[in-house]
Amino acid sequence: MPVVQIRERAVHVDDEGFLSRPEEWDEDLAKALAEQIGITLTDRHWEVLRFLRADYAERGQTPTTRRVDVVGGVPVKEQFALFPRKPGRKMAYVAGLPKPHGCV
């Protein structure tokens, strides 16, 4: 697993840059990760990220955009506004979770 430096911190990531050890994540790191993809975190972003973290801790799988909508209460359209173009991937990236499973 590659190790990269993000703001003087060494973290483990996969081939595509997603954190491969979710326990290395904290809120400071989230800010840095968000910045890297051009997002400034607002309260609403934090609500989404906390839902993702809690849901992952419970189920061991990165929630899908539908799950963030139905269970987390943030409509898909709003997810697109918060994390433009590819919300599923971007939310997982900033929350320090594995890339959402492709659901083949």
Least CB distance to another protein at residue 27 (A) = 26
> Taking CB under 8 A as the rule, does residue 77 contact another protein?
yes
Candidates 5-13, 25-33, 41-49, 63-71: pick the segment binding another protein (CB under 8 A). Answer: 63-71
Q: Compute the least distance from the CB of residue 86 to another protein, in Å.
A: 6
Interface residue with another protein, options 15, 29, 33, 95 (CB under 8 A): 15
The long-range contacts involving 51-57, CB below 8 angstroms and separated by at least 24 positions, are 52/91, 52/92, 52/95, 52/97, 53/22, 53/25, 53/95, 53/96, 53/97, 56/22, 56/95, 56/97
Nearer to another protein, 42 or 61 (CB): 61
Residue 99: how many other CB atoms lie within 10 Å = 16
Q: Is 73 in the site for another protein (CB under 8 A)?
A: no
Q: For the CB of residue 22, give the shortest distance to another protein in the complex, in Å.
A: 17
Q: Is 4 helix (H, G, I), strand (E, B) or coil?
A: strand
For the question of residue 61 being annotated catalytic, the response is no
DSSP secondary structure letter of residue 19: B
- Tell me the catalytic residues: 103
